[in-house]
Amino acid sequence: MSLYSKRGVSAQKEEVHAAVKNLDQGLFPHAFCKIYPDFLGGDDDFVNIMHADGAGTKSILAYLYWKETGDISVWKGIAQDAIVMNLDDLLCVGVYDNIVFNSTIDRNKHLIPGAVLEQVINGSQELFDQLKGFGVNIHYLGGETADVGDVVRSIAVNGTMTSRWPKNKIISNDKIQAGDVIVGFSSAGQASYETTYNSGIGSNGLTSARHDVLSKYYAENFTESFDNGLDDQVVYIGKHRLQDTVPGSPDPDSSIGKLLLSPTRTFAPVLKLLLEQHFNKIHGLIHCSGGGQTKCMKYLPGNFRIVKDNLFEVPEIFNIIKENSGSNNREMYEVFNMGCRLEIYCDPDDAATMIEAATRFGIAAQVIGRVEAHDKKELLISTKEEDIVYG
């Protein structure tokens, strides 16, 4: 059993998928989000989309960092995480404007004061204001903030996004075909609209990242930060403190804490440009979130072999996690994005268009792989050390 499973977490969410298997899959079963008829407007030319997600256990890292350093501004990054994990999923079905957002914040009032709530709420509005400058309009309609100390140890920051969108402007992934190439967008570096270096960690796999990288100091001093029923052998098994420096990092000011807490990058500015100007060239879009580099398997419209043999050099944060945990490549690529958090499936002749758009915003992009005809759904990830097959 993997360390991930021993901590009560599932990279593939098998039990969740089993629980919802009988629900309506929507108009486009292969699309990245569920898409339904226009219940809100009653227009056959439009569809309704609602999506819920959040920052996950990354909020626990923010709690530890805030308690250790006193830097309360770290909570603004958690606000961005909760928003981007919704927004970038909607982007993958073609939605980039006129979106409604409601937040859901559950907190333990004894540990999380109102000042933290202010950081999360104000941080949300600041991100919406920034995105508006790129023509991505998200309307913040408030939400629910509940004091539920019996339910949550510290704080859970989540949200829901809703959109009413033209049906003929949906990316359904049904156009993915053999012969397509996959253009990957890097999750790391510093985009032109980011103020600091981004480690690329995103908001997935943070339960493993936290316990694998951080030391027993946190188990001993912050018992509220983990499930006390876990085996001690999987709780904070790393060697680092949050303020430890990272020699050789692209950002000289980086610490372990800053790398783990890098706010999830949104690809909204570049995808708005591509969806407006090159919609018909995009065959499919995948947000490499839960499930990491294996996420694409779930949304293939048929039996294909996905080959990823030119992924980005793995950013340092993932090497740190792997070194501390002893995890193998198979588990790492299944849990984390490993430096590539967005995939565009397109004709080989259109790859340069996608790459140029990303480069315009300071985002590294390249052809990371291809789609091949096959008798079943299969994924091959080729690394310097080995070939890994999923399927």
Condensed to tens digits (0 to 9), the pLDDT of residues 130-170 reads 999 999 999 999 999 999 999 999 999 999 999 999 999 99
Q: Which two tokens stand for residue 157?
A: 């920051």
Q: Tell me, what DSSP letter sits at residue 245?
A: B
- Tell me which amino acid residue 361 is: F
Within a domain: residue 185? Answer: yes
Greater model confidence, 2 or 379: 379
Q: Is residue 218 part of a domain?
A: no
CATH number at residue 351: 3.30.1330.10
Q: How far from chain centre, in Å, is Cα 173?
A: 19
CA–CA gap between residue 345 and residue 273 (Å, rounded): 16
Q: What DSSP element (H or E) covers 173?
A: none
Q: Kindly compute the dihedral angle of the four CA atoms of residues 206, 210, 212, 218, in this order, to the nearest 10 degrees.
A: -160
The predicted pLDDT at position 372 comes to 98
Cβ neighbours around 125 below 10 Å, total: 12
Angle, nearest 10°, between helix axes 351-360 and 268-277?
Answer: 140
Q: How do residues 221-252 score in pLDDT, each as one tens digit?
A: 999 999 999 999 999 999 999 999 998 788 87
Q: What is the percent of the chain where pLDDT is above 70? A: 94
User: Domain containing 107: what range?
Assistant: 3-196+261-390
Asked whether the predicted pLDDT for residue 375 surpasses 60, the reply is yes
* Domain annotation covers residue 226: no
Inside any domain, residue 256: no
Residue 207 inside a domain? The answer is no
Domain count across the chain: 1
Per the confidence metrics, is the pTM higher than 0.85? yes
Residue 376, number of CB atoms within 10 A of its CB: 8
Rg (CA), the chain: 20
Residue 210's nearest CA partner among 17, 65, 367, 39 is: 65
CA torsion sign, 190 to 193 to 194 to 199? Answer: negative
Q: Indicate if the pLDDT at residue 12 is higher than 70.
A: no
Q: What count of Cα atoms within 13 Å lies in the side-chain half-sphere of residue 206?
A: 26
Report residue 14's pLDDT band, with 50, 70 and 90 as the boundaries: low
Calculate the average pLDDT of the chain. Answer: 94
Q: What is the pLDDT of residues 24-81, one digit of tens each?
A: 778 999 999 999 999 999 999 999 999 999 999 999 999 999 999 999 999 999 999 9
Report the C-alpha gap between 355 and 363 in whole angstroms.
Answer: 9
In a domain, residue 240? The reply is no
Using DSSP's 3-state secondary structure scheme, residue 144 falls into strand
* Top-confidence residue, 17 or 126: 126
